[in-house]
Chains A and B, each alone.
Chain A
Amino acid sequence: MQKLFKLITVALLTLSASIVSAEIKPAVIFDMGGKFDKSFNESVFNGAQRFTKETGIKVMEFEVTNEAQREQGMRKMAQRGANVIVCVGFAQADACDKVAKEFPNTKFSIIDVGWLDNANMRQYVFNEHEGSFLVGALAAMASKTGKVGFVGGMDIPLIRKFACGYVQGAKTVNSKVEVYQNMTGTTPAAWNDPAKGSELAKSQFDRGADVVYAAAGGTGTGVYQAAADAGKLAIGVDSNQNYLHPGTMLTSMLKRVDLATYETFMDVKSGNFTSGVKVLGLKEEGVGWAYDKHNKSLITDVMKSTINGLSDKVKSGAIKVHDYMSDNNCPA
């Protein structure tokens, strides 16, 4: 009897679970950096976690370990009945586009891409230059030498966009500031080379920089480590990385890919999913800078008020931060 009761309970539970998941089955395809890259992918993961926490709906995940798996993973998710799939990063654009055409009834959302055209796809573009502008200003204020550094991952226009915003921000508060820029590489391996990141950071320190901003995925961990070892300041990217090295992490440029993920799932759940391009900038709180207990001691009141002032001006349009990708050129 007891056994039967147990069996029924289990059956009921499974049934109820399947009813819940019948309405929405979300999935995420993490890219090469991996789910816990402490940066881009992890931010997406956090957005998915938030969704799961609030709704109790599990999010299916797939981590690609090589490029060929992207399309495979997406198709597998769609075949397994996922009705909304988040593709993470511009590198997945081709695969996402292809699979979206194969499964017109599945909804797709892709981050960092704004050039595709599918009726079932939403595309998120971030104004990284605005967020980088703020941390650039912060870097220039925190620097004692008047020299700041930037370490990019793969040399692509998107990363140039980060760099360009950063330079503009730094020059806004200190017109004489010198900015050193380095790119880690020209292949996707550049996102995962902490040893090179640390060498690049050290080379910038040697030239006098005392604040370095890394927009380089997993390579960034090497940059932050080098800064911590040398007692210099570093700026994180994408998600809040201040906790990595409290005391030497000046701030992090937040790119709310978690928001994009969460919003996508929520919109599908409530039936408000729209296709097209969504731009998230300072005004939409899609980008920003991190201020928490880990970097409180590094940020003075003057810095804080200056940044907030600049932020308001960018939001209102009084300051226009140039977007590198608009003309592949940086005026600063």
Chain B
Amino acid sequence: MLEMFQICISLLDSTIRIATPLIFCAMAGIFSERSGIIDIGLEGKMLLSAFVAASVTFLTGSPWIGLFSAVVASGFASVIHGFACITNKGDQVISGLAINILASGLTITVGIALFSRGGQTPSLGSDQRFMPIDFPFQSLINNIPLFGDLYSDVISGHNILVYLSLLAVFVTYYMVFKTSFGLRLRAVGEKPEAVDTAGISVIRMRYQAVIIAGMLCGLAGAYLSIAHGAGFGREMSAGKGYIALAAMIFGKWNPIPTLFACLLFGFLEALGNRLQGVELYIIGEVPVQFMQALPYILTVILLAGFIGKARAPGAIGVPYSKEG
């Protein structure tokens, strides 16, 4: 029983670590898509900012400067995306895809030029990373059975970006649903003509939204390379941006359900990592392939059967022009 509990604790612990970049990216997706701009470039922006975070941190020695640069770089990539598909009314999917391809190639090329390590950055020491934070009274609370473990492993003991990602969910919720900015944001994504008639610039709103999205992706990237990991490796985002996109649709473009979708995906991956090679009753040893496919299989099943119709913002993917 106690062992079972320990397994659950470590599963939850791992779930949170895996879900963090998904949460940042999914919130980024919400901002962007709520304003009517499809953001398939989450993956690329995350990769780019992971690279910038690791390189700048290595060169300056400060993870804070690294984090800041990552946010700026990713925000800049968003401006490119915005310039292509807001100002110039280009196709949003193509522009996002271009950002992904650009990030994939650029990080390796610049990485080789800077460090000549085949696209990797040198690994960072523990003073150059965001290390786990231990909450106060840990040794005291640790003595309480069950809750003590929960407190010290699941709640405490993560790096600062993990807590920031949870904060980001509530800030996103508040901004999108409780402020006038959020009202305009949603309106721009549903009926941009109406917003324009009311004297609010659609272009300006959409730029603001994609830049916020870019900055959130920057946090996700920094998490990968200077908090959870200790350096950049080529293609290290490994499809997380797309999973975040799926989580966002899963959560119906709503921050709180999206948070749970991210946690679910994180949980499935953590479970997959732990069940690999384990003998289960009746079934026997679970093949690696099955465990790795599990999150995707479940996504398909859940999307197909359980969550009902996911309705995208009305004006998504449509460039706005005053002439109609």
Instruction: Give A contacts to B, CB under 8 Å.
Output: 30, 33-37, 41, 63, 65, 155, 180-183, 185-186, 189, 192-196, 198-200, 202-203, 206-207, 218, 221-222, 225, 229, 244
Contact = CB atoms under 8 A, between A and B. Distances in A.
A192 B231 contact: no
B60 interface: no
Interface centre among A189, A194, A198, A218 (most CB of B within 10 A): A194
Interface stretch (B119-127, B178-186, B211-219, B242-250): B119-127
B277 A194 contact: no
B89 interface: no
B78 interface: no
A221 B233 contact: yes
Contacts of A194: 229, 231, 233, 236
Contacts of A37: 118, 120
A34 B233 CA distance: 10
Contact of B120 (A181, A189, A195, A218): A218
A198 B228 contact: yes
B277 A34 contact: no
B230 interface: yes
Contacts of B289: 155, 186
For chain B, the bracket of interface size reads: 20 to 34
B277 A193 contact: no
B292 A185 contact: yes
Interface stretch (B10-18, B68-76, B90-98, B202-210): B10-18
Interface stretch (B25-33, B79-87, B268-276, B310-318): B268-276
A298 B17 CA distance: 30
A183 B288 contact: yes
B197 to A, nearest CB: 47
Given A195-B228, A196-B238, A225-B229, 8 more contacts: A41-B118, A65-B119, A186-B292, A194-B236, A207-B10, A218-B233, A221-B120, A225-B123
A207 B118 CA distance: 34
A30 B118 contact: yes
Contacts of B288: 155, 183, 185-186
Given A37-B120, A199-B17, A65 B236 contact: no
A34 B273 contact: no
Given A34-B234, A155-B288, A198-B228, A182 B273 contact: yes
A36 B277 contact: no
Contacts of A182: 273, 276-277
B118 A36 contact: yes
29 contacts: A35-B117, A37-B118, A65-B119, A155-B289, A181-B276, A183-B288, A186-B292, A189-B238, A192-B233, A194-B233, A195-B224, A195-B238, A199-B269, A200-B273, A202-B10, A203-B273, A203-B274, A206-B6, A206-B10, A206-B14, A218-B120, A218-B233, A221-B120, A221-B123, A221-B233, A222-B229, A225-B123, A225-B229, A229-B126
A136 B235 CA distance: 31
A199 B14 CA distance: 7
Contact of A198 (B7, B229, B277): B229
Contacts of A206: 6-7, 10, 13-14, 274
Contacts of B14: 199, 202-203, 206
Contacts of B120: 34, 36-37, 218, 221
A258 B230 CA distance: 27
A192 B230 contact: no
B70 to A, nearest CB: 16
Contact of A199 (B18, B108, B292): B18
Contacts of B277: 180-183
Interface string B258-283: 00000000000110011011000000
A202 B10 CA distance: 9
Contacts of B273: 182, 196, 199-200, 203
B116 interface: yes
Given A36-B116, A36-B117, A195 B236 contact: yes
A195 B289 CA distance: 19
A207 B11 CA distance: 11
A13 B90 CA distance: 55
Contacts of A207: 7, 10, 274
B10 A225 contact: no
Nearest to B10: A206
Contacts of A192: 233-236, 238
A203 B270 contact: yes
B7, B10, B14, B238 interface centre (most CB from chain A within 10 Å):
B238
Interface string B1-43: 0000011001001100110000000000000000000000000
A203 B120 CA distance: 25
A183 B126 CA distance: 27
B108 A225 contact: no
Contact of B118 (A63, A181, A193): A63
Given A183-B276, A196-B238, A244-B123, A34 B229 contact: no
A41 B119 CA distance: 13
Interface in B127-151: none
Interface string B97-121: 0000000000010000000111110
A-B CB proximity, top 7 nearest = A34-B118, A206-B10, A36-B117, A36-B118, A35-B118, A183-B288, A203-B273
Contacts of A193: 233, 236, 238
Contacts of B231: 194, 221
Contacts of B229: 194-195, 198, 222, 225
Contacts of A225: 123, 229-230
A218 B116 CA distance: 15
Contact of B235 (A30, A189, A202): A189
Contacts of A200: 273
Contacts of A185: 288, 292
